[in-house]
Amino acid sequence: MTIEVSQVQQFLTYLSHEKRYSKHTRLAYEKDLTDFMKFANSNSLAQWSTIQSQNVRGFVATLNRAGQSPKTIQRKLSSLRSFYAYLMRESLVEINPVEGIRAPKAGKKLPNVLDVDQVHGLLTVAPEDILSIRDLAMLELFYGCGLRLSELTGLDVKDIDFNQTMVRTIGKGGKTRQIPLGKFAVKAINNWLKVRDQWVVYGQTALFLSQRGNRIANRTVQARLKHWGDKTGLGTSLHPHQLRHSFASHLLESSGDIRAVQELLGHANLSTTQIYTHLDFQHLAQVYDKAHPRAKKKTAG
């Protein structure tokens, strides 16, 4: 079965004859509603009265993945919302499932995600000297723990707990969090600590050092990552946020657990994690509908 077209035609006639909308505006409404009908038919949604909010969010997710801009998605939602307002006025449906649903906000421009093969190529380069041993340890912490640049350069040796295989870091707002260390990160850090004394200035507590023996500077880390991106042929100017972003995206793809990713990244708000990780909008909607006590409309009983 396919969704009813007659009600859409009635609505379009209403726009032309009663609302006196221009032909151009009417065609825009028609296109938006046609796009939703295609989505509905592909998901076996046969009646306007049975469509629920999660179906509309699924539509938004489809548009989002197809690269539609937030402005375009919002316009399509507005058209669909107006159509449902008309259906309610005509007593053809009881609820407007579009109410309260908004297009995803235009997020900050984020670095491209490295795929798993690219990361593997970056992290399996055999270190040849102290400099590359240090760099590999930094790369493993960036990707393995999702650290911010300032968090990595702020680490002291004592922040690495080999017994618990955890790293303790201080993030934004002075908030402390502990992040598990994977076996590759543990190995890389151990290799670095074996040679760190060759550079260290007396009394220096920093985990990562410059060649002069002082705490490594942010700009030095950025330069070294760019060096490794160029050397391994990534085709992109590698920088810390790209590795942090890749960490979050790969973990989310594998686990689907946005709360865990939020905690590991040190985000205070879930919305920040959603934007930062390019979270699949449909997955978030499914999690919400499944878990939140007010997400689903209660059935009459």
| Active-site residue, from 172, 194, 219, 290 | 172
Per the annotation, the verdict on 24 as an active-site residue is: no
User: Which ranges of 110-154 does DSSP label H, i.e. alpha helix?
Assistant: 116-123, 130-145, 149-153
Average pLDDT (252-275) is 76
pTM above 0.75, yes or no: no
**Is the pLDDT assigned to residue 296 strictly greater than 60?**
no
The model's pLDDT over 26-36, given as tens digits with 9 standing for 90+, comes to 999 999 999 99
Q: What is the DSSP letter of 5?
A: S
| Active-site residue, from 38, 148, 187, 227 | 148
The model's pLDDT over 107-164, given as tens digits with 9 standing for 90+, comes to 556 557 888 899 999 999 899 899 999 999 999 999 999 999 999 999 999 999 999 9
Helix, coil or strand: residue 6 = helix
Per the annotation, the verdict on 20 as an active-site residue is: no
Per the annotation, the verdict on 244 as an active-site residue is: yes
Per the annotation, the verdict on 172 as an active-site residue is: yes
- Closest residue by Cα to residue 80 from 65, 63, 213, 66: 63
| Active-site residue, from 219, 241, 259, 290 | 241
Query: Which residues are CB-neighbours of 192 under 8 A, at least 6 positions away?
Result: 133, 134, 136, 137, 208
The average confidence (pLDDT) of the chain is 86
Q: What is the DSSP letter of 49?
A: G
Given a contact cutoff of 8 angstroms between Cβ atoms, the answer to whether 26 and 12 are in contact is: yes
Edge-to-edge strand list for the sheet holding 176-180: 160-161, 166-170, 176-180
Per the annotation, the verdict on 241 as an active-site residue is: yes
Round to whole Å and give the CA distance between 249 and 146: 10
Per the annotation, the verdict on 250 as an active-site residue is: no
| Active-site residue, from 196, 244, 245, 250 | 244
